């Protein structure tokens, strides 16, 4: 545990983070976790955060040293996609019972589980995760992993982020540390070039990185490692030979990007593939870092050509949606997705932004949003569910874009909603992704279901059915006559619970 404590202190002292730099010594030591609000969801634990970051490494066996529930809680809670191995989607856990704990069988059970995985699946590596129970009983996963690695002849990587040490975000960073300590730099590639890049913090949700990868390939860039989306163990092990790094989600793996710059001299920048202008800017920055690192200077010009061509195609495709979407009002409660780049593209096709959250935006992003929005108060840090609901009920917005957690607010207000956070089912990255986002907005707004669910309830149409002795049955019959009515029944049950709009 002293080693883990030192690691956590190190992670909290992150010079690459703006917020961290702004704190004094004392505040920095307290870390970044906010006190929990009574009654509010607590969010994921550190183990969950580590698992989120590492599970999309697709050819690795992820072994959770814990009672069963930890794995049940954390398994594939994002829609990352793989183009190859599906081993990452198999759950491996030591499934510790009370008896194992009382009899001190934890480490032995872990060793046996590693042996079984190595013999049955022959993966290129096994990642072993500690959790609250196994850390509290003092199981030494580092030593077990080292011995197992020697015995079975494959890398067995300890991921020391038990849930109780902190938040999901801390777990993200501890996962990055595990890669730095045990994986990155452990193999030498025989095909390194001066056009190799790393992409950090890209999860390939719904396969969206596959919309961006062809753009990089057209420029002659090669992805040395995309961490973690659709990653392979050997790619990560050779990631230290890349010439430039793009960090996509800064809060998750900033420590990894900064330390790779310090240790291996790989420059990094923070960018985004959400929105047309952000995608172009990210391509330009990658090209510029590679040219500075010795790549052919003509790369900059080639990038400008590609950007001009792709932007023209994307704007032409978006133009087709203008007649259907111009004047429609959007409420953005986006979380991680860069608000301003989405705002810009939606405004370009004539949509009006009636509110956007800037909770996770940088000061520069907030400044851009301020310039784009007509009214300054349309940018909000966070909005209470009740206020979101009132806005939708008062028809101040035609659609809400948000994460799954707020979907029931829109459902209750009987308004269209689109998931744009990590659980989404569509790919929104790159130029094609932006067009897809607008297409999905169009589909959601013009879905005929909304007209139907806003109609009066069936029992209102046929009078007071419940007044008659057979009313209960007739009411059921009326409501479940068609799938649309069944859906309406569901919407109305939510509405009944929360009060009428």
Q: Which residues bind ligand SF4 (CB under 6 A)?
A: 45, 47-48, 66, 70, 73, 131-132, 162-164
Token match 């985004």: residue? Answer: 272
Long-range contacts formed by 335-338: CB under 8 A, 24+ apart = 335/359, 335/360, 335/402, 335/403, 335/421, 336/249, 336/360, 336/421, 336/422, 337/274, 337/420, 337/421, 337/428, 338/272, 338/274, 338/275, 338/278, 338/365
Q: Which is nearer to ligand SF4, 163 or 458 (CB)?
A: 163
Q: Which is nearer to ligand SF4, 48 or 310 (CB)?
A: 48
Peptide bond into 228 cis (omega under 30): yes
Give the residue at shortest CB distance from ligand SF4.
163
Q: Which is nearer to ligand SF4, 155 or 158 (CB)?
A: 158
Q: Which is nearer to ligand SF4, 47 or 88 (CB)?
A: 47
**Do 283 and 304 form a contact (C-beta atoms < 8 A)?**
no
Q: Which is nearer to ligand SF4, 48 or 202 (CB)?
A: 48
How far apart are alpha carbons 27 and 30 in whole angstroms? 5
Residues 6+ apart with CB under 8 A from 149: 155, 156
**Do 476 and 459 form a contact (C-beta atoms < 8 A)?**
no
Total Cβ atoms within 10 A of residue 284: 15
* Min separation Cβ 43 and ligand SF4, Å: 11
Q: How far apart are the first and last CA of the chain?
A: 52
Sheet bearing 126-129, strands edge to edge? 92-93, 61-64, 126-129, 156-159
Q: Which is nearer to ligand SF4, 165 or 351 (CB)?
A: 165
* Min separation Cβ 125 and ligand SF4, Å: 22
* Min separation Cβ 7 and ligand SF4, Å: 17
3-state secondary structure of 38: coil
Long-range contacts formed by 414-420: CB under 8 A, 24+ apart = 414/450, 414/453, 414/454, 414/491, 414/495, 414/501, 415/450, 416/444, 416/445, 416/447, 416/450, 417/444, 418/444, 420/334, 420/337, 420/342
User: Which residues, listed in sequence order, are joined to residue 61 by a DSSP beta bridge?
Assistant: 126
Q: Which is nearer to ligand SF4, 45 or 444 (CB)?
A: 45
* Min separation Cβ 163 and ligand SF4, Å: 3
Q: Which is nearer to ligand SF4, 42 or 102 (CB)?
A: 42
Q: Which is nearer to ligand SF4, 48 or 398 (CB)?
A: 48
* Min separation Cβ 74 and ligand SF4, Å: 6
Quote the tokens at residue 70.
Answer: 């930890």
* Min separation Cβ 46 and ligand SF4, Å: 7
Residues 6+ apart with CB under 8 A from 457: 479, 488, 492
* Min separation Cβ 128 and ligand SF4, Å: 13
Quote the tokens at residue 281.
Answer: 């800017």
Q: Which is nearer to ligand SF4, 44 or 458 (CB)?
A: 44
* Min separation Cβ 30 and ligand SF4, Å: 20
* Min separation Cβ 66 and ligand SF4, Å: 6
**Do 286 and 399 form a contact (C-beta atoms < 8 A)?**
no
* Min separation Cβ 259 and ligand SF4, Å: 25
**Closest to 8 in 3D by CA, of 134, 162, 157, 156:** 162
């Amino acid at each position: 545990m002293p080693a883990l404590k030192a690691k956590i202190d190190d992670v909290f002292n992150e010079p690459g983070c703006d917020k961290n730099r702004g704190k004094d010594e004392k505040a920095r030591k307290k870390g970044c976790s906010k006190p929990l609000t009574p009654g509010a969801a607590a969010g994921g634990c550190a183990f969950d955060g580590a698992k989120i970051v590492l599970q999309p490494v697709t050819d690795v066996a992820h072994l959770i040293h814990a009672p069963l529930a930890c794995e049940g809680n954390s398994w594939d809670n994002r829609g990352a996609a793989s183009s190859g191995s599906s081993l990452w989607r198999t759950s491996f856990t030591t499934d510790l019972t009370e008896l194992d704990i009382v009899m001190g069988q934890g480490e032995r059970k872990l060793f046996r589980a590693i042996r079984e995985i190595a013999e049955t699946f022959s993966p290129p590596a096994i990642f072993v995760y500690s959790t609250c129970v196994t850390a509290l009983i003092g199981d030494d996963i580092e030593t077990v992993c080292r011995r197992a690695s020697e015995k079975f002849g494959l890398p067995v990587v300890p991921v020391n982020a038990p849930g109780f040490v902190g938040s999901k975000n801390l777990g993200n960073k501890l996962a990055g540390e595990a890669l730095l300590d045990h994986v990155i730099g452990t193999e030498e590639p025989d095909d390194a070039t001066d056009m190799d890049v790393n992409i950090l913090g890209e999860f390939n949700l719904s396969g969206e990185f596959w919309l961006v990868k062809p753009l990089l390939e057209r420029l002659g860039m090669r992805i040395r490692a995309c961490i973690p989306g659709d990653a392979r163990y050997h790619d990560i092990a050779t990631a230290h030979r890349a010439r430039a790094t793009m960090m996509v989600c800064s809060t998750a793996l900033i420590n990894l990007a900064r330390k790779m710059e310090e240790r291996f001299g790989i420059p990094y920048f923070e960018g985004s593939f959400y929105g047309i202008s952000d995608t172009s800017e990210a391509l330009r920055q990658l090209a510029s870092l590679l040219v500075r690192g010795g790549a052919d200077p003509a790369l900059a010009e080639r990038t400008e050509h590609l950007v001009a061509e792709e932007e023209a195609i994307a704007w032409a495709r978006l133009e087709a949606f203008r007649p259907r979407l111009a004047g429609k009002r959007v409420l953005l409660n986006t979380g991680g997705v860069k608000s301003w780049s989405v705002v810009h593209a939606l405004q370009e096709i004539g949509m009006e932004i009636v509110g956007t959250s800037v909770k996770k935006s940088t000061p520069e992003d907030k400044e851009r949003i301020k310039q784009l929005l007509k009214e300054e108060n349309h940018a909000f840090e966070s909005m209470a569910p009740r206020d979101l609901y009132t806005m939708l009920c008062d028809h101040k917005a035609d659609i809400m874009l948000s994460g799954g957690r707020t979907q029931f607010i829109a459902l209750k207000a009987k308004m269209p909603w689109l998931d744009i956070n990590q659980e989404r089912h569509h790919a929104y990255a790159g130029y094609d992704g932006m067009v897809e986002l607008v297409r999905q907005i169009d589909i959601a707004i013009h879905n005929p279901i909304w007209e139907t669910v806003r109609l009066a309830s069936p029992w209102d149409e046929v009078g007071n059915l419940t007044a008659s002795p057979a009313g209960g049955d007739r009411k059921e019959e009326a409501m479940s006559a068609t799938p649309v009515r069944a859906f309406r029944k569901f919407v109305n049950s939510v509405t009944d619970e929360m009060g009428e709009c």
